Amino acid sequence: MTTLHGIDDLVVALRELGEVLQPVRVAATLRGVRIDPRTLEPFMTWSPGRYTRNLVARDSAFELIAICWEKDARSMIHDHADSDCAFVLQTGAITCENYRVAYPDGFEKGPCDLRQTTTRTLREGEIDMRSGHLSVHRVGSCDGRAVTLHVYAKPIDACTVFDEDGTTKVMPSHYDTAPAPTAG
Ligand SMILES: [Fe+2]
């Protein structure tokens, strides 16, 4: 039987991992987690043809973001800055296209050599993990709408995005929605 947790329980569990979140412990925390949809409702926003990033919680150690993927919405091809990233699929299906990236002229200098390697489809409760600048992928919904919960440790304020031809640019992160700051 699957136990449903409130989203606040997940935030508490992540905070208990300390100031430096170990990827293996984040994975163990996220794997198979099913969040009660009623507690996710405040973070569900939808926009035609794209995905929305909805901040759930953020501190110096990590950010937890609920991403709502419209049908056939896809991310850009991107890296993960200097952070570790893990996500767990809540509803729908998600395709991860993985890329191998090499910089013939030196790290992040000039166009890179970008090659698609493997593709994987995630189902509900499954997780994907990424780490750092050489962990490059594109993520998208592949069976109607999807909802994923992402942990970035530490929070990512900008990452590198890639065109198919290997040109790159730094893209600042943004939130479509964020909780109102609380006093104190
Ligand atoms: Fe990613």
Cα of 59 vs centre of ligand 1, distance in Å, is 19
Instruction: Report, as an integer, the average pLDDT of 68-73.
Output: 98
Q: What is the pTM of this model?
A: 0.93
For residue 130, report the phi and psi dihedrals to the nearest 5 degrees: -140, 155
Q: Which string of DSSP letters, residue by residue, matches 133-175? A: EEEEEEEEESSS-EEEEEEEES--SEEEEE-TTS-EEEEE---
Q: Tell me how far the alpha carbon of residue 51 is from its chain's centroid.
A: 11
For residue 23, report the phi and psi dihedrals to the nearest 5 degrees: -55, -40
Cα of 165 vs centre of ligand 1, distance in Å, is 19
Cα of 87 vs centre of ligand 1, distance in Å, is 9
Query: Residue 183 falls within a domain, yes or no?
Result: no
Cα of 70 vs centre of ligand 1, distance in Å, is 17
CATH code for the domain of 102: 2.60.120.10
Cα of 137 vs centre of ligand 1, distance in Å, is 6
Query: Residue 158 falls within a domain, yes or no?
Result: yes
Query: Residue 180 falls within a domain, yes or no?
Result: no
Query: Residue 177 falls within a domain, yes or no?
Result: no
Query: Residue 108 falls within a domain, yes or no?
Result: yes
Express each pLDDT in 132-155 by its tens digit: 877 999 999 999 999 999 999 999
Cα of 144 vs centre of ligand 1, distance in Å, is 19
The whole domain housing 116 covers 7-172
Cα of 56 vs centre of ligand 1, distance in Å, is 17
Query: Residue 135 falls within a domain, yes or no?
Result: yes
Please, are residues 57 and 182 in contact by the beta-carbon 8 Å criterion? no
Express each pLDDT in 24-58 by its tens digit: 999 999 999 999 999 999 999 999 999 999 999 99
- How many structural domains does the chain have? 1
pLDDT of residue 1: 45
